[in-house]
Amino acid sequence: MSRYNELLQAITVREGGREVHDPATGELIGRVPVQSAADVDAAIDRARAAQPAWAALSDEERVGHLNRIADAIEANAEALAELLSREQGKPLNGPNARFEVSACAAWTRVPAATPLPVEVVIDDGETYAEMHYRPLGVVGAITPWNWPMMIAIWQIIPALRMGNAVVQKPSEYTTLSGLALAHVVNTVLPDGVLNVVAGGGDLGSRIVESDLVEKIMFTGSTRTGKKIIEASSGSIKRLTLELGGNDAGIVLDDVDPEAIAEDLFWGAFINTGQTCAALKRLYVADAIYDSVVSALAEVAARMPMGNGLDEENVLGPLQNDMQFEIVDRLVASAKASGARVVLGGDPDRDAVGYFYPTTLIADIDPHNDLVVEEQFGPALPIVRYTDLDEAVRLANELDAGLGASVWSSDRERARELAARIQAGTVWINSHGTINPFVPFGGAKQSGYGLEFGVAGLKSVAQPQIIQG
């Protein structure tokens, strides 16, 4: 039996449960359990029982476990990537399934290697105070369907490093991916330290509402994030929320369009556009507008889309029918307004799978639905501007503020402009290039709290001052 089949057999149920289908082919992949509120409560109880012994280990011992987790992920990398491709839809190649699994290992090793020494706050001869970081207890991790393994690692591994136990609820759209990753991780961890519950949004609500969970980490929509804030207020839970984004990119008039075209493409279309911090609205200076649109269209037209298991493809289907309908509605709004379809925009509705063609929409009103709503799919609106101040105003006028980018051949000019943009991260001449050492978080209604690096470790710990 192949490692893929062994993994699938370990996490699926033969009878009952819920069917999981490949979004590219409609093929039945397997069945996942559908658990109840009682199962959530039991998982929280297991986590609370296991957490004190886990926290009692030395930091070096927990780091050793994390490095062995990374080893286990790498040993199962191809099986995990195949399952991820079948369930989520993303191709094996390009910045997709194999890339995501590799990132899981990297985002495990970096938190394991990140030092977090005791901080001496003051030592002036009269007063001495130290800052320590203690475990919180149980962390609830509620993970999305677009990067279901990588984002799970972002939440789980820092929590474990700091001595917490975890209860994770994967998205109901990508439950297999969540269960498979947890199965591999749990070949290393003591029983009860990582617990996974499979089911719908009601299970996530149960985790949020539990008085026995000290922290919630959530990646998903702003709408759901607001509900989590409300539901968690009774116990004053700590929250890290990475919510919806509608990232703007501003292209200045001093760039070489052909030189930036491929980076623009991947900034917008990584994971077929299903990325929170993807480039979702592009503002281009009038002097080079037509050249940028042409160069971007040339790159986009040669990127193959299809079944993720085909080694040639780098773009896949949308993960679910709900997301297909959102993209289709927003593109239809742009077309009805008279915007120019440069590429795509006309899906084959009789085809198998949730494939939406790579779509570029030019000469669009900056307040069209496709611009102001997050499409979360392979459709990019390109807005022409003549006044840079107006472009900045348009970039800043939405409630979203996860990421943004500035494209210029003059780095200082780009940095000055970046400082005027309201976003948690502003990239220069790239978009969405996250790094496990660099803190990441949103502004405005794109959430709050930081992940990655030292800041990410501190976010899943209780600061404690010891003075005297």
User: Which residues are the active-site residues?
Assistant: 242, 276
Instruction: Please give, one letter per residue, the 3-state secondary structure of the chain.
Output: CCHHHHHHHHHCCCCCCEEEECCCCCCEEEEECCCCHHHHHHHHHHHHHHHHHHHHCCHHHHHHHHHHHHHHHHHCHHHHHHHHHHHHCCCCCCCCHHHHHHHHHHHHHHHHHCCCCCEEEEECCCCEEEEEEEECCEEEEECCCCCCCHHHHHHHHHHHHCCCEEEEECCCCCHHHHHHHHHHHCCCCCCCCEEECCCCHHHHHHHHHCCCCCEEEEECCHHHHHHHHHHHHHHCCEEEEECCCCEEEEECCCCCHHHHHHHHHHHHHHHHHCCCCCEEEEEEEHHHHHHHHHHHHHHHHCCCECCCCCCCCCECCCCCHHHHHHHHHHHHHHHHCCCEEEECCCCCCCCCCCCCCCEEEECCCCCCHHHHCCCCCCEEEEEEECCHHHHHHHHHCCCEECEEEEECCCHHHHHHHHCCCCCCEEEECCCCCCCCCCCECCEECCEECCECHHHHHHCCEEEEEEEC
Contact 352, 321 (CB under 8 A): no
Q: How far apart are CA 276 and CA 270, in angstroms?
A: 10
114: left (phi over 0), alpha (psi -120 to 50) or beta: beta
Q: Which residues contact 117 (CB under 8 A, 6 or more apart)?
A: none
- The residue among 407, 417, 337 whose CA lies nearest residue 370 is 337
Structure tokens at 204: 């996530």
CA–CA–CA angle 122, 126, 128 (5° rounding): 35
Strands 400-401 and 443-444 come out as antiparallel
Task: List 240's β-bridge partners, or say none.
Answer: 217
The residue with tokens 């799919």 is: 377
Report the greatest alpha carbon distance in the chain.
77
